[in-house]
Structure 1
Amino acid sequence: MQTLPVHLDLFALIMLLGVAQGLFLGVFFLTGERSRNVANRCLGFFMLGISTIITEILLCYTNYMFQVLWLIDFSEPANFTVGPLYFFYVFARIHRRLPRGWRWHLVPFGIWLLNSITWFYQPIEHKYNAYIHAYHPELSYVRSLDYMPTDFTHLRDYVSEITLLSCLIYGIWACVVVWKAYRRAGDTFVGKSSVQLNQLRNLTLLNISLSWLIIIIKPQFYEDLGDYILACYITGIIYITSYLVMRGSNFYRDEILPEPLVVDPETLGEPKKKYEKSALSEELEDAVLTKLTQLLKTEKPYLDSDLSLPKLANRLSTSPHHLSQLLNDRLGQNFFDWLATHRIAEAKFLLCDPATAYLKIDEIAERVGYNSTSAFHTAFKRLTNQTPAQYRAKGMGQGA
């Protein structure tokens, strides 16, 4: 069997960086508190899936696949996870749950995974022929006595077309979900809405553009020789996602520390209000309160499990200190009481709504933003003097 030396260039470096960053993001979203969020889990698995695909393309492009021929086509089943997993991410990001019957969307992946046994369990000569057929058609085939018939589905010759169709269908479906979210917010798809919704739209358009790139690239190259261009584009998507993750982080933001208390001897003993020296005028307070009210109607930010005072303040274009003042002065609550009030109100609705009667208590807790079921029970009992189960039983009884 003739082999070729390892080939490294700028494209290989870009793909290598994409694999490394994709694996990092995948592990990042699937570990820690982040993994409690269903959208994060979908994005994590999506990142691992596309990293697997880029890895095989990198091995083939650099000729390193000659050294590990047993890995040939190992990422092929992952082709059927890219479309569904990204759609799951978009759907869960907006609705905070997976679509009903989501397991059926992964049936093609399961079938292809089973089908992969028929080409993984083949002699090395068979794998060599498969590799040079796709990437080095100038080389000569070697004789191979296959152990078993390959591809019981008889669809492997059309795997690129099927992958394209899958990505296109799920990409359009994800766009429709985002478009409906814009409609509910009273905005147009091309207009400006919340930062998170705009980011989700832009990321979705980048992903669906991959389908059009496949349509353009594939006819220009024999077999899989143009896959490195697609891999570099996917690397770009990975790094844009990384940028959006860092952009939404509070790590680099200045923490607002309390000013030192200065005691004036002339006014010693006179009570002072907590925000007496605040620069937040009544007009500005009204404007922030209006934005908060609108945000509650359109996005329900309190359902985000990782919502914090600085994150909410950032979405309202104000400071955490000013937002805390507004909640205390106008609503008579601190941030955590305000957050619990809205989450429990949403939970009360879900507990009594016939459409969500199938949900378990812990599922409702997750939907309304609680990572801990015990924390949900504690907050619910404190605000309603009932447990969630008691409230549901009472609500269902009245409905009957």
Structure 2
Amino acid sequence: MNLPGLLGLFCGVAVVLAGLLATYFLWVDPQKKNRWLGLLFLAIALRVGKSIGYFILYEVAAPWVALGYVGLASTGPLLWVYVRMQTGQAPLRASLLHGLLPLVGAISIWAADGAYASDWYQLTTLLLLGYLVATALRWWKSRSADRAYYWEGQVLLGTGIVWVAYVIQHLSDTMQGYAWGAAVAALPLYGLMVRMARQGRVQPKRTPKAETVPADVLQKVRAALETEQGYLQRHLTLSQFAASIRIPAYRVTQAIQQAYGGTFPEAINALRVREAQHRLTEDPKAFIKMEVLAQEVGFNSPSAFYAAFKKETGSTPKAYQKAKLQTQSPATLPTS
């Protein structure tokens, strides 16, 4: 098998696996926000799949070129929405406008039989850089240990490498260089898939019977979180916590679901907010700097603390403390 054939096989396997992962996140994974991750994988797979057609077949029909463009033009918006969802913010309705470019570009390429495909691809590759920068800034500002901060960074880095691969393809004068560009774009797909497997992010759908957690495992998880206050550790991830108590990540996920009725980040959030509530009401008249409190209970940024607190209690920390102060009877308030 020649070099283009080997590169095509390498990329082809990555595209197939990415498609399977997209299927899992779209229809199997119970977390709705991961559907955006599935769509992101699908978008990159479409774009890399178009590249495979070019350096293997040397000619690709306009509909397939248009479909590859949809993948390229959708990558930036999907990455942006996915990170917004991970930081606890619902996607804006205005985000729907980002879907116009993939639609208009694909129709134009198809209608013109691919005549302006190169211009559309180059312009959109440049636009993808803008999405990467904007998403990186949002990710950096909202970084927090209570959620998958490092994972989001890996997804962002992987998409950045994919963008570099697209630039390599645009700058290449040979078909071999174009093929190497596709191979570089496939590398992050493999890397992210390996990371997901190691972190237990992809698990087979189980029946309720399979979800039963042994009592000793449940007790160990609860003790590590509540008695030892493991939730106060900043930058705590599922894989780190599972390794620290020597229990497989999937077992920890099951135990968290059974004990707290949610995911690992959701449980950590709830425990940290509960700790913050206790500290806010321990001495209602005490002045507490919210930025300091956020760090003390394990959050990595004030914005993440405020968002989690409002989600759990329906109010801001200051408003919560003020309400508790007002409900205290004069006899129970500390005297000056």
Tell me the TM-score range normalised by the shorter chain: 0.5 to 0.7
1:228 correspondence with 2:179: yes
Mapping for residues 1-400 of structure 1, pairs under 5 Å: 9-34=5-30, 36-38=31-33, 40-63=34-57, 65=59, 71-120=64-113, 156-182=117-143, 185=144, 196-221=148-173, 226-249=177-200, 257=214, 289-294=228-233, 314=241, 317-318=244-245, 335-336=259-260, 342=270
User: What amino acid is aligned across from residue 239 of structure 1 in structure 2?
Assistant: Y
Q: Radius of gyration: which is bigger?
A: 1
Deviation at 1:110, TM superposition (A): 2.1
Alignment partners' CA distance in 2, 1:337 and 1:42:
23
Deviations 1:229-284 (A, max 9, x none): 232122111111211221221869xx98457xxxxxxxxxxxxxx98xx9x9xxx9
* TM-score with structure 1 setting the length: 0.51
* Contact preservation (8 Å) 2:122, 2:170: no
Query: Could you tell me the percent identity over the aligned residues?
Result: 13
Deviation at 1:97, TM superposition (A): 2.5
Q: 1:165 to 1:226 in 2, by over 3 A?
A: same
Alignment partners' CA distance in 1, 2:269 and 2:151:
28
User: What amino acid is aligned across from residue 112 of structure 1 in structure 2?
Assistant: G
Alignment partners' CA distance in 2, 1:97 and 1:49:
21
Q: 1:99 to 1:243 in 2, by over 3 A?
A: farther
By relative contact order (CA 8 Å, sep 6+), the higher-ranking structure is: 2
User: What amino acid is aligned across from residue 54 of structure 1 in structure 2?
Assistant: V
Deviation at 1:27, TM superposition (A): 0.5
Deviations 1:20-60 (A, max 9, x none): 111111111101243x412x111111111121122221122
Deviation at 1:165, TM superposition (A): 1.4
Alignment partners' CA distance in 2, 1:217 and 1:157:
11
Deviation at 1:217, TM superposition (A): 4.7
What residue ranges of structure 2 are gaps of 5+ in the alignment?
Answer: 205-211, 248-257, 275-306, 313-322, 324-336
Q: 1:69 to 1:238 in 2, by over 3 A?
A: same
Alignment partners' CA distance in 1, 2:165 and 2:45:
18
User: What amino acid is aligned across from residue 6 of structure 2 in structure 1?
Assistant: L
Deviation at 1:291, TM superposition (A): 3.1
Alignment partners' CA distance in 2, 1:312 and 1:157:
43
Deviations 1:204-244 (A, max 9, x none): 1232233344445532326x764322321221111112112
Identify the residue that residue 324 of structure 1 maps to in structure 2.
none
Q: 1:96 to 1:294 in 2, by over 3 A?
A: farther
Deviation at 1:19, TM superposition (A): 1.5
Identify the residue that residue 305 of structure 1 maps to in structure 2.
none
Q: 1:179 to 1:162 in 2, by over 3 A?
A: same
Deviation at 1:72, TM superposition (A): 4.8
Alignment partners' CA distance in 2, 1:52 and 1:114:
16
Q: 1:100 to 1:220 in 2, by over 3 A?
A: same
User: What amino acid is aligned across from residue 336 of structure 1 in structure 2?
Assistant: Y
Alignment partners' CA distance in 1, 2:11 and 2:139:
29
Deviations 1:301-324 (A, max 9, x none): 9xxxxxxxxx5993683367xxxx
Q: Matched residue pairs, number?
A: 255
Root-mean-square deviation (Å): 4.5
What residue ranges of structure 1 are gaps of 5+ in the alignment?
Answer: 1-5, 121-129, 131-149, 186-192, 260-273, 302-310, 321-333, 347-366, 369-379, 381-394, 396-400
Deviations 1:170-199 (A, max 9, x none): 1111211221123xx4xxxxxxx5783122
Q: 1:285 to 1:79 in 2, by over 3 A?
A: closer
Alignment partners' CA distance in 2, 1:286 and 1:237:
33
